[in-house]
Amino acid sequence: MTASVDKSSSYALQQTLKSKISCSGTGLHSGVNVSMTLLPAPPNTGIIFRRTDTDGNGLEVAALVENVVDDRMCTTLGDGEGATIATVEHLMAALCGCGIDNLYVEVEGSELPIMDGSAAPFVFLIECAGIVEQDALRRVIEILKPVRVEDEDRQVELLPGDGFSVDFEIEFESDAIGRQDMSVDLVNGTFKGELSRARTFGFIEEVDQLRAMGLALGGSLDNAVVVSGNEVLNEDGLRYENEFVRHKILDCVGDLYLAGAPIIGHFKGHRSGHALNHSIVRSLLADQGSWRYTTVLRDRDDVIEELDELPTMVTA
């Protein structure tokens, strides 16, 4: 007899897409046109990135913090043998915000398309493809005790908490940004409504330096908020008054999903970026007394029980 999950169970189940879906666009840092296809994956697969172009050398890499090979201006995954996939954080944030546990991401190029600089186009793709529950319980990472990482005047912390929530503060000398802070609970569509449309941003005075480093070659006013001194150069202005901190939270959600499962706990960040986000995930996973795998109730954040391993069934 084949065991399966009772879909009427109150436990949260893993999810993937109903059908495959594709898009294409410019790579923010590479500046070249790339295409991407999202495909359903079996239970317990996680998020797997694949390079399908000839230069990718057949790269297949799991979206886990241990596979981050570069965090300059974006999150880049690789296998340590040369081939990489860059700028995965916006898609990872959308997958986390939409509750996608298992997915194959095929990329014909070295970088995901930047689209409009936010995660909203990826949320749209996910919704167009549809979401389906699977015959396996979802596991989450429950924070049991505080974990903190500091780097000079930058700090991040993960704390026990109900559900997944984020407090984030940024501070820039430019009056166009200044000091911004935001607190958000990631429940009931909050990611789509409050964070997904917030775009990446940069400073015009840094463009030459970034391009000399091989970065931001595809950046434009169509896919980023560009700041010059104390002004925003985008003709239509900002999507939110505090769009800058909202995008930093979006990036954070994507980076934290590299833990390999959704987090039940509270994140606090002060002037954090990709490197520090990755560092707190590594520190968390390295301290086995600070977290555990658990299950949660469907549409709730109540922690049910500790898991020794990922469950695959509740009824036969």
70: exposed, middle or buried (Cβ count in 10 Å: 0-12, 13-18, 19+) = middle
What is the rounded CA–CA span in Å between residue 36 and residue 104?
10
Strand order in the sheet with 76-78: 68-70, 76-78, 84-85
What is the rounded CA–CA span in Å between residue 130 and residue 22?
13
Q: Is the dihedral of CA 284, 286, 287, 289 positive or negative?
A: positive
Full 3-state SS string of 239-295: CCCCHHHHHHHHHHHHHHHHHCCCEEEEEEEECCCHHHHHHHHHHHHHCHHHEEEEE
Active site (annotated) includes residue 274: yes
179: exposed, middle or buried (Cβ count in 10 Å: 0-12, 13-18, 19+) = exposed
Which residue, 287, 13, 270, is CA-closest to 143? 287
Read off the DSSP letter of residue 128. H
Name the active-site residue from 29, 247, 274, 278.
274
CB 119 within 8 A of CB 250: yes
Q: How far is CA 178 from CA 118, 173, 174, 241, in A?
A: 21, 6, 6, 12
Kind plus residue range of the DSSP H or E element containing 157? strand 154-159
Active-site residues, by number, are 274
